[in-house]
Amino acid sequence: MAMDWDQSQQLFGLLCCLLRYPDREWFAQLNELREDAQWLQDDDARRTVLAFIEQAASSNELAWQDRYVRTFDFGRKSNLYLTYGQHGEERERSKALLELKRLYAEAGFELTSSELPDYLPLMLEFVSHAGVKHSAEVIGKYQQTLSAIHEELKGRQDSYAGLFELLLAMVTVLAAAFASGQQLAGSGVE
């Protein structure tokens, strides 16, 4: 996956939108997201996102919403609250949530929604605006959880599996670049 940081942030932003609950506003936004995806330079990323959007746009809204709820709200192995995947309801989860809030604040990201800071679409919104260092610190530590979600979705041949494969590849590149001290093109100095 060869993308500069600006393109990566655009893709993180698209994934943020696509992984949110598919309400009427979500469905109404699909055309705009399709247009945005056309600008992705990476062919595989563009194909994956466009295929997902086409499938969602041609689906029955209620059926798609039901599938989303069954997949992410009731699926213990595919929960979008990433600290839950690591800690369940243990006390350690509270510490992880507080750490995420601290990292967001340190980066100047204000939490304005009622979502917990480990909600994947919220994390992706942050990463779509933050620099490499803060992005890697926030989402890089959840590679194993993202991989587990991807494997669960892939095993079920779920429509969201392709998005998670793409996300996991991006997070892996981001974490490796940050760990090795490499600078992603277009990332600026942090």
Give the CATH number of the domain where residue 62 resides: 1.10.3480
Q: Residue 188: inside a domain, yes or no?
A: no
Share of the chain above pLDDT 90, in %: 69
Secondary structure of residue 81 in the 3-state scheme: strand
CB 176 within 8 A of CB 8: no
Lowest mean pLDDT among 45-49, 90-94, 126-130, 157-161: 90-94
CA angle 112-10-99, nearest 5°? 40
CB 118 within 8 A of CB 97: yes
Answer yes or no: is pLDDT of 184 > 70.
no
Answer yes or no: is pLDDT of 188 > 50.
no
Lowest mean pLDDT among 140-144, 145-149, 157-161, 162-166: 140-144
More confident position, 189 or 60: 60
pLDDT tens track for 1-41: 566 788 889 999 999 999 999 999 999 999 999 999 999 99
Residue 188, CB half-sphere, CA atoms under 13 Å: how many?
A: 9
Answer yes or no: is pLDDT of 185 > 80.
no
Mean pLDDT value across residues 134-142: 89
Confidence category of residue 170, pLDDT binned at 50, 70, 90: very high
Residue 154, CB half-sphere, CA atoms under 13 Å: how many?
A: 12
**Token pair 């991807």: residue:** 150
Residue 84 pLDDT: 83
- Burial (Cβ within 10 Å: 0-12, 13-18, ≥19) of residue 9: buried
Per the structure, the complete domain to which residue 49 belongs is given by: 5-180
Q: Domain count of the chain?
A: 1
Q: Residue 190: inside a domain, yes or no?
A: no
Confidence category of residue 181, pLDDT binned at 50, 70, 90: low
> Within 10 A of 43 (CB to CB), how many other CB atoms are there?
8
Q: In 4-81, which ranges are E strands?
A: none
Mean pLDDT value across residues 153-173: 94
Lowest mean pLDDT among 52-61, 62-71, 180-189: 180-189
Residue 150 pLDDT: 96
Q: Residue 186: inside a domain, yes or no?
A: no
CB 59 within 8 A of CB 53: no
